[in-house]
Structure 1
Amino acid sequence: MKFNLDKGILIQILLVVLSGFIISFFVDPRVRVLPLMLSVAVAMIRLVSRGKRKLLGTGYEVNEDLIYLVTHMYAISTGRPPHRRLFMLDTWAGSYDGYDSILRRIAVLAVDWGYGFARAIRIVAKELSNKVFRDFLLRLGELLAIGEEPIRFLDIERRALITEYQAHYVRILEASKLLLGIYTSSVSSAIFIVITFMISTFLFSISSSMIVLVYTVIAISLSALAYILYKVLPRDRVTHNLKNVRIPEKTRYKILLVMGLTISILIGILTYKIFGDSYLAISTAALPLVIPGLYARHVEKKIREIESFFTIFIRSFGLTYSMIPHTATALASTLRSGYGPLTTYLKRLLARINAGIEAKIAWYQFIGETWSEIVRRNVNILYDSINTGADLARVGTVLSETT
């Protein structure tokens, strides 16, 4: 994670750490490290919160929604539609976190109100806080103003965003490793302090308020570091949240979770009544919760396997469709090869299309059954590309690379 700190923030952080260092000289030598630990934790929270606001407030962060938005625009551009269509994306299977609504606003200003795309983009760009997205739109507006085709431009921008996102992801992982090392060292130090303090209580007269203070400071410091790790560590979305679709795995997981919680409570109460040991009751009560956890692990593994085969499928389907521009025929031809656990869902998709079900509904059910966020994002682009007559050979290749 990259931070751009001004002098004011840097001075605040230094003052917090310095105050903890000074206070440590006026407390009991046995707990002298506690004020320093607390001040460092507060300074790191200030640093992370500042960096988080910087990323979100000025929009330097390149996220997956922006990458898939530009990929969607590139996929549509391969069909060489009117420029309005590049901005009026059909996000039938999920939006792009507000980016697509901005594009639609530009299209309305440019076409319906007669401003033209270059001027409409400049008007809308003034209100955008995301610098990366704003600069991208301004460059696109200038390109459209001189009458150039946007295919090559969008492909270059897509690749640049992917490269930036990968670099950003690596920076976050490196920062996470550093913070994990700090957290591990802090836990070790806290354990050492607690043991030392417990031994000291037997040798010296220590007030109860001092004991409470020590444990409170340690708990606050470790909680602060844990909070920082939670905020910094990247979180990739595995499953989608589409509505009006039946997902058997999701239903089973909910049933197992409810049953596990119920059995856990009953076992905990029963164990406590029989043995009268609260620690044993808590330990045995946790056992039934292992079952939904293992099932969730199984589902995640299955989704990851589906996604790995989906990259192969979408490339093959794109190449086949470019030669046979008919969804059912191209899908049947593609299914001559095996795609692991994805094959079952593809056969259901083909059966629905052959049964006369509307293609959009069939694809929507396909997304729902796979329960994969990556599948949702890619099919969202794929279906819109088919409707606009895009070059599916290019689209399939690009989507397999983006995935």
Structure 2
Amino acid sequence: MSETNVDAGLSAQRQQFREFVSSLLDAYEQMPMENRKYAITVLAPTVLMFVLGVVGAITLPLPVLVRIPIFLLGLLMLVGGVLYPRLLVEEQRRGLENQLHLVITHLTVLSTTNIDRVAVFRQLGREEEYGELAVEMRRITELVDTWNQSLDDALQRRARAVPSRELGDFLDRLAYSLNAGQHLDDFLLGEQRTIIEKYITVYEGALGNLEVMKDLYLSMILSMTFAIINAIVLPILTGTDATMTIAAVIVLFVFVQLGFYYVIKTMSPYDPLWYHQADYRTKIDRQIDIALYGSVGLSAVFVGVLGLGVAGWTSIGQTVQRVMLDTPVPLLIATPLTPLAIPGLVARHHENHVKERDEEYPGFIRALGASESAKQSTTRAVLETLREKDFGVLSREIDRLYVRLNMRVGPDKSWFFFTAETSSYLIQKFSEMYLVGRQMGGEPKQLGELISDNMNEVLKLRRQRQQATVTLIGVLYGITASASFAFFIGLEVVEILATFSSSMNLAQFEFGQLIYAGVYDIPVIEYLLSLIILFNALLSALMIRMVDGGHKVNAYLHFVVLVWIGSGSAVVTSSLAGGLISV
């Protein structure tokens, strides 16, 4: 029975390997660059770098901990060169699936209007914000307009060609239904629940994968922390170059974190919170820009003052230099970066309002659609009474929308300013759908209910994402504090042993040297460990930003907090260890 299970497992692994190789070969066929040219310009140099890495790792007279990163660097370049076409196809697949639910909702809204069904796809093809999906819509209409194919034939052709299984299945079902004589709007209205359920499954699956990656990341960082501690402590017993050994392990640590950052970026569901109009800078945008430029300028001033202190130029520099001599290195690194938290705090304040507007919008758009259908009136007339209701933080934008419509500003322009001032990605997309649907003769009540139901489902998923983000933040903050403690406790142990060696004068004994204190350059190693804290804070902040889906400057806030957590842990560790030595 056990042998049968083993054989079945091996057979499944072989099948998975064959499928992977087949998908890799297909990716090479779909690549825009010719395979011969790609082999010469990309694969050949990566193979050469791998060979050089292997030769260097074998022949160079370096410690093992230094040779390993050299070999891994060559291996990484080779694997990256071989798998790059597959990564391109995967990127295209994610581009097709990231906004599929929005595109199908948009398609459904347009299908309920009075325009031709091919014009529905043509309209979606003009929406550049949909990226790969807009390109796919244009390919479908090109098959119809240029090659005189029927819409169902064009859909079937593209269903077989797209790298996304979900999009392919949807196009195939749509083609079959249209060929059978079903109306486009009937099919799409019936598909809404199915598409939303699939989107929920994919979204929750991505969050589940992030939970797994969080645990794996925790294990790997703890392992790399142990490796760095070994790199700090072992040279005092072996006599190898401590600085080179520690630097090599730090490079390996950097590669591990970069790999996890890429994986988390790939797995995170695409669901941006903010929307920025390219042609209009809102008050919120200007406030964030002012805070960002001001904080960067202030940090640059602090760095300049520290530079004067290092060089000892001018009386200010000499004063700063005296202060720097008594200040731990981690604090010297963290202090100039502190102003960068300001734009993050400003963005977080406005981001909370954006989230509140998103929560109020489904009720607003449903009430607007129902009122327009019941009164058979324009949006302006309905808003005259609707704006008196309390929609929380969204009430201000609704009131300004009414004022603009009442002043005879065009509907397109009025809704443009409305969506820009809300700064919400979902409000912008769904408001555009509602506006276009109304202009093309759609039923307001149906449009409002359709948009409201879809947005409510997305908001439920966002709450789950927020919980996953909070958990990730706690893990990354905790890892930063514990890793920093481990790094600097290892350094303090080395200093204790070096002090013990000097005080006991072990070299006078005949049994040989036991402790190689001379291989350490403590100030340089302290700088290297501080750089680890800095780099870890940077990538951890970017991971949080990627999972959170909020404003980009939120990463600045987390970066500063993580730097201070790591630096504070380092300083406290050094102080406590120094107190033990003195005792």
TM range (shorter): 0.7 to 0.9
Do the aligned partners of 1:118 and 1:145 also contact (CA within 8 Å) in 2?
yes
Among 272, 291, 295, the alignment partner of 1:256 is 291
The 2-side partners of 1:7 and 1:104 are apart by 34
* Cα displacement (A) at 1:123: 5.2
The 3-state SS of whatever aligns with 1:167 is helix
Q: Map 1:266-277 onto structure 2 (within 5 A).
A: 266-270=301-305, 272=309, 273=317, 274-276=319-321, 277=324
The 1-side partners of 2:367 and 2:255 are apart by 54
Among 360, 364, 370, the alignment partner of 2:416 is 364
Return the TM-score normalized by structure 2.
0.58
Among 337, 347, 353, the alignment partner of 2:389 is 337
The 3-state SS of whatever aligns with 2:130 is coil
* Cα displacement (A) at 1:80: 5.5
Q: Which structure has the higher relative contact order (CA within 8 Å, separation 6+)? A: 1
The 2-side partners of 1:90 and 1:214 are apart by 50
Return the TM-score normalized by structure 1.
0.81
Among 222, 236, 239, the alignment partner of 1:202 is 236
Counterpart of 1:275, as a letter, is: V
Deviations 1:363-403 (A, max 9, x none): 11111111111111101110111012212212211211211
**Counterpart position of 1:167:** 201
The 2-side partners of 1:60 and 1:217 are apart by 29
Among 415, 425, 429, the alignment partner of 1:373 is 425
Deviations 1:328-360 (A, max 9, x none): 112223223111111111111111111111111
What is the aligned-residue RMSD (CA, Å)?
A: 3.9
Higher helix share: 2
Do the aligned partners of 2:128 and 2:134 also contact (CA within 8 Å) in 1?
no
The 1-side partners of 2:205 and 2:95 are apart by 12
Counterpart of 1:198, as a letter, is: I
**Counterpart position of 1:6:** 17
The 3-state SS of whatever aligns with 2:295 is helix
2:363 counterpart of 1:312: yes
**Counterpart position of 1:15:** none
Among 318, 341, 351, the alignment partner of 1:290 is 341
Do the aligned partners of 2:125 and 2:136 also contact (CA within 8 Å) in 1?
no
Unaligned runs of 5+ in 1: 11-19
Do the aligned partners of 2:63 and 2:240 also contact (CA within 8 Å) in 1?
no
The 3-state SS of whatever aligns with 1:6 is helix
* Cα displacement (A) at 1:122: 4.1
Counterpart of 1:329, as a letter, is: A
Counterpart of 1:370, as a letter, is: T
Fraction of identical pairs, as percent: 22
Counterpart of 2:415, as a letter, is: W
Residues 105 and 55 of structure 1: is their aligned pair in 2 closer, same or farther, counting only changes over 3 Å? closer
How many residue pairs match? The answer is: 385
Deviations 1:77-125 (A, max 9, x none): 3346443443343788764225345445645764797644333434555
The 1-side partners of 2:330 and 2:343 are apart by 22
The 2-side partners of 1:48 and 1:181 are apart by 26
Among 435, 441, 444, the alignment partner of 1:383 is 435
* Cα displacement (A) at 1:297: 0.9
Deviations 1:262-314 (A, max 9, x none): 11121233354333336444322122212111001112111111111111111
Deviations 1:45-80 (A, max 9, x none): 8799798555445x3876343212211221233346
